[in-house]
Amino acid sequence: MICITGDMHGELNRFNDKRIKSLKKGDVLIVCGDFGFLWDGSKREKAILKSIGRKKFYTLFVEGCHENYDLLSQCPEREFCGGVVNVVSGNLMHLKRGSVFNIQGYKFFAFGGGQTKDIDIRRDSKTWYEAELPTTEEVKSAVINLKEADNAIDYIITHEPPASMKEFLGFETRQISHMHTFFDAVKNDCTFKMWFFGKAHVNKLIPPKYHCLFDDVVTLKNDKWDKEQKMLKRNKKPL
């Protein structure tokens, strides 16, 4: 089973949601940016990250505006489900921008990043990182990965919405970057079932296939995949 939710901002009580607590070994929780648990590098924070990494299920996240990008870049990279991740601790991993992941029979395109408001930068420049916005190389790599997937994705995971969604959600349209226009190109060029993103701190389904998440949890269940996994386990049992 796969659960998808929005901005956590380092709030441990979010793991107490009954849908998340029901996740078993091998299941997956995906966070649409602003995970927020990787922030100050303190001993307490490191202990929390280890406890999340020790959970039976995988906790995966794309980056948003409220992450420490310097600490994130120090986490080792590895291959995971066909894409690239940074391993924060155990089963806690960051989904690298532009990767396509095959998770429980579904194809996920992950592309984190955010855009901090100018007023926030002036208030406390220590909370802003240039790496929030993608480089040209990251966008090019994403395009290549999407083409290799024939531009056919089941689910898209981002923190920011496409440019065309920002005005609809009440964001200031002047704060549109090359990342948002790239997302518009992805929206037009790719086929997908649903696009999940955070950022707006609201839970809103935007028909036909956009879902803004904050503290709500969406559950995906692939019955065909589950059946195949059960058969594999059964066949591995000794006679």
Q: What is the 3-state secondary structure (H, E, C) of the chain?
A: CEEEECCCCCCHHHHHCHHHHCCCCCCEEEEECCCCCCCCCCHHHHHHHHHHHCCCCEEEEECCCCCCHHHHHCCCEEEECCEEEEEEECCEEEECCCEEEEECCEEEEEECCCCCCHHHHHHCHHHCCHHHCCCHHHHHHHHHHHHHCCCECCEEEECCCCHHHHCCCCCCCCCCCHHHHHHHHHHHHCECCEEEECCCCCCEEECCCEEECCCCEEEECCHHHHHHHHHHHHHHCCC
| CATH fit for domain 2-236, picks 3.40.30, 3.40.50, 3.60.21, 1.20.120 | 3.60.21
Q: How crowded is residue 235: how many other Cβ atoms within 10 Å of its Cβ?
A: 7
Domain-by-domain residue ranges, the chain?
Answer: 2-236
Lookup: tokens for 207: 């028909």
Q: How crowded is residue 213: how many other Cβ atoms within 10 Å of its Cβ?
A: 25
| Residue-level pLDDT, tens digit, the chain, 239 residues | 999 999 999 999 999 999 999 999 999 999 999 999 999 999 999 999 999 999 999 999 999 988 999 999 999 999 999 999 999 999 999 999 999 999 999 999 999 998 886 544 444 556 788 899 999 999 999 999 999 999 999 999 999 999 888 777 776 656 678 999 999 999 999 999 999 999 989 999 998 999 999 999 999 988 878 878 878 877 765 43
Lookup: tokens for 169: 């959600």
What does the pLDDT read at residue 119?
Answer: 46
- Backbone φ and ψ of 112, nearest 5°: -80, 175
| pTM reported for the whole predicted model | 0.92
